[in-house]
Chain A
Amino acid sequence: MTKVVVAMSGGVDSSVAAALLKEQGYDVIGMMMRLWSEPGKEDSNRCCTPDSMGQARRVAAKLDIPFYVVDAKDVFRSTVVQYFLDGYARGETPNPCLACNRQIRWTFLLDHALALGAEFMATGHYVRIQKDEDGKVNLLRAVDRMKDQSYVLHVLTQEKLKHALFPVGDYPKPEIRAIAEKYGLPTASRKDSQDLCFLAGEDYRNFLQRNAAELLIPGKIVTRDGRDLGEHSGLANYTIGQRKGLGVASPVPLYVLGKNVVTNTLVVGTQEELGSFELSVRDVNWVGGEPPVGPFRAEVKIRYTAREAWAMVTPLQGGGAPMGSRQAQVRFDAPQRDITAGQAAVFFQGDLMLGGGIIQ
Chain B
Amino acid sequence: MIYLDYSATTPVDSRVIDMMTPYFSASFGNPSSVHRYGQAAEAAVDSARETVATILNCRPDEVIFTSCGSESDNLAIRGAAYAMREKTGAKWILASHTEHPAVTKTLKHLEKYEGFLVEWLDVDAHGRVTPETVASAICSDTAIVSVMYANNEIGTINLIKEIAEVCHANGILFHTDAVQAAAYLPVNVQSLGVDMMSLGAHKFYGPKGVGALYVRKGTPLVSHLTGGGQEFNLRAGTQNVPYIVGFAEALRLANEEREQRTAHVQPLRDKIIGTILETIPDSRLTGDMGSRLPHHASFVFKNVDGNLLLTLLDAAGFACSSGSACKTGNPEPSEVMNAIGLSRDWGLGSLRVTLGKDTTSDDVASFIASLPGLVEKARKLGN
Contact = CB atoms under 8 A, between A and B. Distances in A.
B305 A71 contact: yes
A117 B330 contact: no
A66 B315 contact: yes
A73 B331 CA distance: 11
Contacts of A73: 329-330
Interface string A15-57: 0000000000000010011100000001000001010010000
Contacts of B330: 34, 42, 71, 73
Most buried by A among B311, B314, B330: B311
B329 A115 contact: no
Interface in B318-364: 327-331
A29 B328 CA distance: 16
Contact of B329 (A48, A116, A117): A48
A111 B329 CA distance: 17
A256 B377 CA distance: 50
A71 B307 contact: yes
A37 to B, nearest CB: 10
B381 interface: yes
B308 A53 contact: no
A65 B316 CA distance: 14
B314 A115 contact: no
Contacts of A33: 329
Given A68-B314, A70-B311, A71-B308, A115 B328 contact: no
A115 B307 contact: no
Nearest to B348: A71
B371 interface: no
B317 to A, nearest CB: 11
Contact of A71 (B316, B329, B377): B329
A112 interface: yes
A32 B314 contact: no
B312 interface: yes
Contact of A116 (B305, B307, B315, B331): B315
Most buried by B among A32, A50, A116: A116
- Secondary structure of the A side of the interface? mixed
A115 B377 contact: yes
A301 to B, nearest CB: 34
Nearest to A50: B328
Given A69-B307, A71-B305, A71-B307, A115 B312 contact: yes
Contacts of B377: 115
Given A71-B305, A111-B381, A116 B328 contact: no
29 contacts: A29-B315, A34-B328, A34-B330, A42-B330, A48-B328, A48-B329, A50-B328, A53-B328, A53-B329, A66-B314, A66-B315, A68-B315, A69-B327, A69-B329, A70-B308, A70-B311, A70-B329, A71-B305, A71-B308, A71-B329, A71-B330, A71-B331, A72-B329, A73-B329, A112-B308, A115-B380, A116-B312, A116-B315, A117-B316
A50 B329 CA distance: 10
A29 B312 CA distance: 12
Which 3 A-B pairs have CB atoms at the shortest separation, nearest pair first?
Answer: A34-B329, A69-B329, A68-B311
A50 B315 CA distance: 23
A49 to B, nearest CB: 10
Interface string B300-313: 00000101100110
A32 B328 CA distance: 9
B60 to A, nearest CB: 42
B328 A117 contact: no
Contact of B311 (A48, A50, A116): A116
A309 to B, nearest CB: 42
Contacts of A69: 307, 327-329
Contacts of B381: 111-112, 115
A66 B381 CA distance: 20
Nearest to A57: B327
Given A50-B328, A117-B316, 12 more contacts: A29-B315, A32-B329, A33-B329, A34-B329, A42-B330, A48-B328, A70-B307, A112-B308, A112-B381, A115-B381, A116-B311, A116-B315
A162 B330 CA distance: 31
A72 B328 CA distance: 11
A50 B377 CA distance: 28
A117 B305 CA distance: 18
B315 A117 contact: yes
Most buried by B among A29, A33, A115, A116: A115
Interface in B271-314: 305, 307-308, 311-312, 314
Most buried by B among A48, A68, A70: A68
Nearest to B305: A71
Most buried by A among B311, B312, B327, B329: B329
Interface in A293-346: none
Interface in B140-191: none
Contacts of B315: 29, 66, 68, 116-117
A34 B329 CA distance: 5
Contacts of A117: 315-316
Contacts of B312: 115-116
A117 to B, nearest CB: 6
